[in-house]
Amino acid sequence: MLTRTLTVVNPSGLHLRPAGVLSQTAMKFKCDIIIECGEKRIVAKSVLNVMAAGIKCGTEINLICDGEDEEEAMKSMSEAIESGLGEM
């Protein structure tokens, strides 16, 4: 299991478009991918769960990847989040 703390840089947070990009990226991997935001644990492969979490710009999240391709998933997911999920 790998864990990394990241900051959401999207100006309007994880609304529909960036949440969709995040979920599509997560779905490429077999491992479980969880986003922890405060007390919430969000399944990253569900666009509705990501959107419903209401994650705003500047929010620190913990990204957790657990499974057979966790290293590749962590690298790809971290890069996507740090680059603004196509909005920057």
Residues catalogued as catalytic: 15
Which ranges in 1-88 belong to alpha helices (H)? 16-26, 47-52, 70-82
Residues sharing a CB contact under 8 Å with residue 50, sequence separation 6 or more, in sequence order = 14, 19, 22, 23, 35, 42, 44
